[in-house]
Amino acid sequence: MPKITFMGAGGYSFPARITLDILSFPELQDSTITLMDINKDNLDRSYRLLSGVINRLNLPTKMEATTDRRAALDGADYVIIVWQVGGIEAYTPDVEIPRKYGIDQCVGDTLGPGGVFRGVRSIPAYIDVCKDMKEVCPDALMINYANPMSINCWAVSTTGIKCVGLCHSVQGTSWMLASHLGIPYNEISYKCYGINHQAWFTEFRHKGKDVYPELRRIMFEKYPSPGPGVGLSDGAYIGKQPDLAVDHGDVYYHERVRTEIMRTFGYFHTESSHHGSEYVMWFRKNEDMIKSYIKERWDYYQICLHHDFAGQEKWIEEVKAPLTCSGEYAAYIIHSMETDTKRVIYGNVPNYGPPGSSIDSPSAHLIPNLPQNCIVELACLVDRNGIQPTSPGPLPIGCAAINRMSINVQELAVSAGLTGNKELLYQAVAVDPFAGSMLTLPRIKEMVDEMFEAEKKWLPQFK
């Protein structure tokens, strides 16, 4: 009977979704599920809703809730991170202050000024959890869902704790591409690897046949390039707030940005055109440019401000048997490790070996044209032996070049977050492709100082 602990369990989406995924497997229904959050009101709500599901379905699951981090971790077999350090209060300056300086992030949680600050304020919380894990559950697997994925997992990897980072961008993008091709999803195969939110589909096949030429033809016709004259107007684009009644499926999957990248670099990557446009320097310089590439503004910060909490509660309260597992990997990993069922998942792991290995004695160099000390996203085998990453070989050189620009930011952010060195914090934002394309170095320093002042209560490592 495994003990599965959720850190940040007071949220709505992931604690509920992953718990229901776990309970969809009969072999896992006798698990102990421990919910931990520092916000007792939110924690009590999650406990009430999820206990209600267990009681209605008459499951043998033991459900616990506590605000005591160490007690929650004691004896855990799996530790699932679903928190957002600082919550919406900290997220607000991540996006609002850079917009004052002309940097319009539609998400701001992975790279850019927002991603860097979210990372450095999250790192102390991860380090505290890792210290407790070493004492009360040293063999547990940390399953991280919190962004910035690469920065967070990189910091954890320095502690020796076993950690795999999970995202759904590989699943979502592969499904979308199969839909564009009109091919049943269960008939495709692909090779995908790189870094989180920037992994590359280097192969895409239908029943063994290479369909990449047809995929390129379809995407180039659906999403033509705006051409060389785009982006000639002046001024930063802040944009109108989104209409939250719009079907964001159509808006979210409007793929002119990713298609434009594929037109030059040859391959499609795993993050949406909205979010992916923040990681490079080619798409968000001004209003004219953004409007040429983005069909309609998709603003994750605004979506977070307008969450349908009542609707989410209603959904959980109406859950009925039989439970089915979503496309998220966490429950599949736990099931495979508990039952020895063989599966392949796409996980974020150190480029130097499996979770828990050390850069001081590396056992691998999984993607050889990316830095060995970074975090990579690639196919992993899972069974009773845990997470076993594959070694896909080098990326196409242009794809690796784009990844390395992101990795530069990640490495500096991790170093800043671990050491409390503010100079490294300036440098992390300065080398960010989007921020560096918009601001001079003095303006970047001014912006970072303003963000630091707004967020300093979540940055205890900076003395």
Encoded tokens for 182: 């009109």
Cβ atoms within 10 A of the Cβ of 228, count?
Answer: 7
Cite the active site residues: 168
Can you say whether residue 347 is alpha, beta or left, with left for phi > 0 and alpha for psi between -120 and 50 degrees? beta
Encoded tokens for 211: 């369909």
Encoded tokens for 42: 């939110």
Q: Is the dihedral of CA 276, 280, 282, 288 positive or negative?
A: positive
**DSSP state for residue 448 in the 8-state scheme:** H
Give the three-state DSSP class for 200: strand
Contacts by 52-60, CB closer than 8 A, 24 or more apart: 52/316, 52/317, 53/19, 53/20, 53/23, 53/316, 53/319, 54/23, 56/319, 56/320, 57/23, 57/319, 57/320, 57/321, 57/323, 59/23, 59/29, 60/29, 60/30
Instruction: Please state whether beta strands 343-350 and 375-383 pair in parallel, antiparallel, or not at all (unpaired).
Output: antiparallel
Calpha distance 23→277 (Å, rounded): 37
Calpha distance 195→19 (Å, rounded): 27
Give the three-state DSSP class for 248: helix
Choose among 10, 155, 9: nearest CA to 73.
9
